[in-house]
Amino acid sequence: MNALNSGLYLATILIWGSTWLAITYQLGEVDPLVSVIYRMALASGLLFAWCRLRQIPLGLSLRDHRFMAAQGCFLFGLNYWTIYWSEVYLPSGLVAVIFSLLVFFNIINGRIFLKHPVTLQTVVGGLVGLTGICMLFYPEFALLSDSAKADSSTILNGPLLGFGLAFIAVVFASLGNIVATRNGNTGISVWAINAWSIFYGTVILTLIALVTGAEFSYGTTLEYSLSLIYLSVFGTILAFGAYLKLLINIGPSRAGYTSLIIPFVAIILSTLFEDYQWTLLAAGGFVLVALGNYMVLKRR
Alpha helices in 25-158 (DSSP H): 32-53, 62-71, 79-86, 92-99, 102-114, 120-136, 138-144, 152-156
Per-domain boundaries in the chain: 3-297
Among candidates 87, 29, 80, which has minimal Cα distance to 208?
Answer: 80
pLDDT at 256: 67
The angle, 0 to 180 degrees and rounded to 10, between the axes of the packed helices 190-212 and 62-71 is 60
For residues 268 and 225, the answer to whether their CB atoms sit within 8 Å is no
What SS3 class is residue 188?
Answer: coil
pLDDT at 182: 85
pLDDT at 36: 97
For residues 228 and 38, the answer to whether their CB atoms sit within 8 Å is yes
Sign of the CA dihedral 74, 79, 80, 85?
Answer: positive
Gap between the Cα atoms of 253 and 247, Å rounded: 8
Task: For Cα atoms 10, 16, 43, give the angle at the middle one, nearest 5 degrees.
Answer: 115
- The distance of Cα 43 from the centroid of its chain, to the nearest Å, equals 16
What's this model's pTM, rounded to 2 decimal places? 0.85
What SS3 class is residue 199?
Answer: helix
pLDDT in tens, the chain (300 residues): 678 888 888 898 899 999 999 999 999 899 999 999 999 999 999 999 999 999 999 999 999 999 999 999 999 999 999 999 999 998 898 898 888 888 778 778 777 877 777 778 777 887 888 888 888 777 655 555 554 454 545 445 577 888 899 999 999 988 988 888 888 888 899 899 999 999 999 999 999 999 999 999 999 999 999 999 999 999 999 998 888 777 767 766 566 677 778 888 888 898 899 888 788 888 888 888 888 878 876 754
pLDDT at 147: 44
pLDDT at 229: 97
Sign of the CA dihedral 121, 127, 131, 134?
Answer: positive
pLDDT at 283: 87
- The distance of Cα 147 from the centroid of its chain, to the nearest Å, equals 33
Which residues have C-beta within 8 Å of that of residue 147, sequence separation ≥ 6? none
Gap between the Cα atoms of 35 and 22, Å rounded: 12
Phi and psi of 185, rounded to 5°?
-85, 0
Q: Which residues of 70-91 are buried (b: 16+ CB within 10 A; e: fewer)?
A: bbbbbbbbbbbbbbbbbbebbb
pLDDT at 69: 97
Among candidates 63, 75, 99, which has minimal Cα distance to 201?
Answer: 75
